[in-house]
Structure 1
Amino acid sequence: MSDVDRAREMRAPHSGSAWASVIVDPPSHPDVSNENTLDFTQLSGFDGEALLASIQAVGRHVRDLDVQTQAQRERIRELIAQVREHLRAAIERAEQAEARERDMQLQANAAVEAAEGRARVAEKLAQTAEAWLARIAETLRAELPIPQGEMEPSGCQKAA
């Protein structure tokens, strides 16, 4: 059975369409009403003052929410400004630390270069001193009668 057939079976016997109970014909004249038009003279228990008071309460609540929203927005702006300031300060501190690190690296490089230079000079002085000591030892051996085995390699004489 198709959906159309099922819909036909569900129709009320007195109506020509399944939608007849949903569709409301407009009134033929403005003085005539149907179930969709309200006649306030026939409403029993309608309290207009209570409705107005409720509307006013809702209005106050909306205004209060507006004030709270504005306060929260302002607080968020303040927090964002604080975060920006903290971030700016942190970036500044990091840049200062990087500058100090670069300066320290330059100083360390200069100190290493100076130490290496002093080491080269010391090495040359040591080589010169060794050369002089070797010459002095040769001259001592050649000029003084010291037996061959009695002289230390360092140039000192053995104690007897």
Structure 2
Amino acid sequence: MANFLDIIEWFDDSGEEIVHRIPESGSAETKFGSQLVVRPSQAAVFFRDGQAMDVFGEGRHTLSTQNIPLLTKFLTKMVGFGEKSPFRVEVVFINLKTFTKFKWGTKEPVPFRDAQLGVVRLRAFGNFVMRVKDPSLFVNKIVGTMGRFTTEDIEGYLRDIIMSRFNDLLGEHLKSV
């Protein structure tokens, strides 16, 4: 006999988790009538066979043919299941809060040819914040199939983007410091 997910929810006790997948690997059986609990500052994306089916916002959602139209269409027309039949899904919860404790900086001084001073060595540093704007896009393009994705996982990636843009700015737009 299969175990069904009757209540699907996620709590982030650490405050550092951006994405949490249920189950963390593979997929689980659930059925129409199950409850999906999405907390404030969260979104939940339903996936089937690697494809995002629907995105849910804050609240308690009873899974039905009305609120999962893409998945329902797939199950009834392609597979032949009825409304109460079980289906295998992954649910990815995304934390939508603004994460604020990120820092960036040059690892070493960056040589810059100043129009008046010649070659100078510059250092730069600062803070940045991050917030997920499009949950489905973020999961598909950045997170992939990882079961968990934390601030530590994204920090290096974003820091590299900032440093790349900083170097572009120095080379293309500045003539003198």
Greater RCO (Cα-Cα under 8 Å, separation 6 or more): 2
Larger Rg: 1
* Pair in the same fold by TM > 0.5: no
The TM-score with structure 2 as length reference comes to 0.18
The TM-score with structure 1 as length reference comes to 0.20
**Structure with the higher strand share, 1 or 2:** 2
